[in-house]
Structure 1
Amino acid sequence: MRRALKSFLIGGCAAVLAGGSFAYASGGSGGMSGGGAGGMNMPSASGPRYDPATEYAKAIAAMKANQYKDAARAAEHVTDAVPKNPDAWQLLGAAKAGASDWKGSRHAYEKAMKLTPDDVRVHAGLGLALANLKDPKAQAEADWLKSKAQACADTCPDAARLKAFTEEVESAMQGAPAGAPKPSAMLDRSLLFGGAKTGDAAYEQAVSLINERRYDEALASLAKAAETFGPHPDILTYQGYTWRKKGDYARAESYYRQALAIDPKHIGATEYYGELKAARGDIAGARVMLARLDKLCAYGCADAEELRRWIDAGGDPQKN
């Protein structure tokens, strides 16, 4: 690797969870231009622009306070901003379930399922929603969880939660007793609410693992960070980088595009997306990303110079 990856996020995510706000947004300027009507945003294009990481933090805080409708409202802001982010849909599904909006929960988990079909949390959440809707398809989700639990045989890291998830879904299918706590809320409390320190530690560990080329372990750590902080562009950028190093260019591109949708001026995502384009042979596309970097780095930066090396080499310079 040409250089050690930088840990941009440490401390920053804690600020989000504490109520701070980053400078990036999902769209352009949120304010009104002072140059008269010619610079004014039209009403159709000047609605609220939400910071997905901040809204994700709001949703988690509301879940902690059992304010499920508020949590769902904030989570919907996240899914509107980054509709390809599975953690956002999973959180929305949990919030809708907490509010006993089982149809809404089912819809959110179905969206998450399309993005992460092997996520045990998503199968459990969808199973709970279907069970509470008296939908016989809940049995398929219970069977999927049970099969995974049996294959795990108490030896894999997911053993305990697979067993718990299976019991939750089967209990819901049988009809949970009146007054019982909402299972989806308990499910997500244990998985999503580790706090800023836990998320920062997972992110820092992921950066170290990437530098050691331990990519599968790095992805697992990045997933833990994402559960805490939601769709943060730094996390998304490194998820894209790691999938690219694993050779999955399509998945890498998805993460880069998510990061740039949140923060169009993110230098790391811009550089790495350009490198991905160069690796694919799309030199023209890489030059577009380089032009953006040259504007972002008015006085030059290592990121732009590195991407320029890739372009000059017609792809990965380390392979030539």
Structure 2
Amino acid sequence: MIQRCTTAHIAPRTAWLGALALVAALGLAAPAAWAADTSPSPSAAPDKLAAARDLIQQDKWVAAIEELKRVDDRSSADWNNLMGYSHRKAKVPDYAAAERYYNEALRIDPKHKGALEYSGELYLMLNQLPQAEARLAVLDKVCMLPCAEYTDLKSAIARYKANGNSYVAKP
């Protein structure tokens, strides 16, 4: 049995083909090409902060500071953030140095999530709740969805308030 093509059969097919052409034109039909662009380039430079990060993971704060001084990448927001973090976490913390490094990281990159979170925690340690809440407000705008840095600082502020406005380290 031969079926006749009527306008009623052609119109939906034409609309469907038009939509398919639009999807292809916008590049939405090729997710594999997009995914290939998300992987790091094989020629990417090695992480010059890797050794410092390893020392930080081991809670070797003085050694991490020495390694960061050796690398001396003061124009890097990540470098400044790690210096601030190491000074804040050291056995004998240097909060003034930590604040200087965090502020420099944020001068270089005002949206640096790590520096925003860690400086917020520093402000809680210094009993400066309004500054910590200001950092949380910036993180709220920087994070598209709740990110770990936002969640961690929000929890730190909640612990601070629940403990009578006194800093409580993360459990």
RMSD between aligned residues: 2.3
2:89 is aligned with 1:238? no
Q: Call closer, same or farther: CA 1:310–1:214 in 2, change over 3 Å.
A: same
**Divergent runs of 4+, >2 A:** 315-320
2:118 is aligned with 1:267? no
Give runs of aligned pairs for residues 170-189 of structure 1, distance below 5 A: none
Measured in 2, the distance between the counterparts of 1:316 and 1:235 equals 26
Shift of 1:298: 2.4
2:76 is aligned with 1:225? no
Contact conserved, 2:52 with 2:65, CA < 8 A, in 1? yes
Larger radius of gyration: 2
Contact conserved, 1:309 with 1:317, CA < 8 A, in 2? no
Give the gaps of 5 or more residues in structure 1. Answer: 1-10, 16-195
Shift of 1:319: 7.1
Please name the residue that 2:168 is paired with.
Answer: 317
Shift of 1:316: 4.0
Measured in 2, the distance between the counterparts of 1:299 and 1:283 equals 24
Which residue type is aligned with residue 69 of structure 2? A
Higher relative contact order, structure no. (Cα contacts within 8 Å, ≥ 6 residues apart): 1
Measured in 1, the distance between the counterparts of 2:123 and 2:145 equals 24
SS at match of 2:110: coil
Q: Call closer, same or farther: CA 1:305–1:214 in 2, change over 3 Å.
A: same
Measured in 2, the distance between the counterparts of 1:212 and 1:245 equals 12
Please name the residue that 1:254 is paired with.
Answer: 100
Measured in 1, the distance between the counterparts of 2:97 and 2:66 equals 15
Measured in 1, the distance between the counterparts of 2:80 and 2:121 equals 16
SS at match of 2:145: coil
Q: Provide the TM-score with structure 2 as the length reference.
A: 0.66
Give the gaps of 5 or more residues in structure 2. Answer: 1-39, 161-165
Contact conserved, 1:206 with 1:221, CA < 8 A, in 2? yes
Measured in 2, the distance between the counterparts of 1:284 and 1:267 equals 18
2:150 is aligned with 1:304? yes
Please name the residue that 1:291 is paired with.
Answer: 137
Please name the residue that 1:282 is paired with.
Answer: 128
Q: Provide the TM-score with structure 1 as the length reference.
A: 0.36
Please name the residue that 1:158 is paired with.
Answer: none
Which residue type is aligned with residue 318 of structure 1? A
Measured in 2, the distance between the counterparts of 1:257 and 1:299 equals 24
Shift of 1:283: 1.0
Shift of 1:284: 1.2
Please name the residue that 2:10 is paired with.
Answer: none
SS at match of 2:169: helix
How many percent of aligned residue pairs carry the same amino acid? 37
